[in-house]
Structure 1
Amino acid sequence: MGFLIAIGLVIILVLFWVSSYNSLVKYRNWVEESWAQIDVQLKRRFDLIPNLVETVKGYAKHEQETLAKVVELRNQITAPGSSRQEQIEANNELSGALRQLFALREAYPDLKASKNFNMLQEELSGTL
């Protein structure tokens, strides 16, 4: 009788372990999938940035520092070997630089009227 109880206990422990392991694998996959979705949105955002920079270059000749910073941060985020934390920090800096770039719109009325700039700004804002 004691032998059957021991076997039953072992079976219950094995089932508990298998269930816990499967749950942990499921949660790990969710995390990886979430990061993959974030990476897709960031890639989309990075693909839009050069178009925005080119659009602004034509209107804002005096704002080369802001444009250079946006390009530098974009390249820093996409650099191979950068950790998630470095990517997050660079992305936060990039958001600030893009806000400065969007603020140029007020200083340059022609830029404000540019349909291409407005479209790119709206698309980028949707991915932030």
Structure 2
Amino acid sequence: MRDDRDDPFGDIFDEIERMMSEMADAAGEPGGDAGFGDETHVSVYEEGETLRLVADLPGVDKEGIDLQCDGRTLTISAEGTGRRFDERVRLPVRVDEHSASASFNNGVLEVAFDALEPSADIDVE
């Protein structure tokens, strides 16, 4: 008799099932949301004192983009023709959210922040 708790492939099959379900939703199958909730491809680059994020948002207009940052997480919400993107990106370093600059061109969003100094170590005596 086999114990499913020890199945080394269980997590892989669960992930494949989740991805298949998302693809069915995006294809507009019954019970799907016709592409809403698509995942955004986001790349993060640390360039010296600057942190730059590049996100692909196909089918979205600039007016449909909403960005929010708390210094540790960037939230990208975007809506376009038949598409909706909602993505929370955990930033690798703290940033000054007030230094943000953003541009959007041909479906590509770029956001840049000034990186803050890492937290100071505290010596315990």
TM-score (norm 1): 0.25
- Structure in which a larger fraction of residues adopt helix: 1
Considering fraction of residues, name the structure with more strand: 2
Q: Which has the larger radius of gyration?
A: 1
Structure 2 length-normalised TM: 0.25
Which structure's relative contact order is higher, taking Cα pairs within 8 Å and 6+ residues apart?
Answer: 1
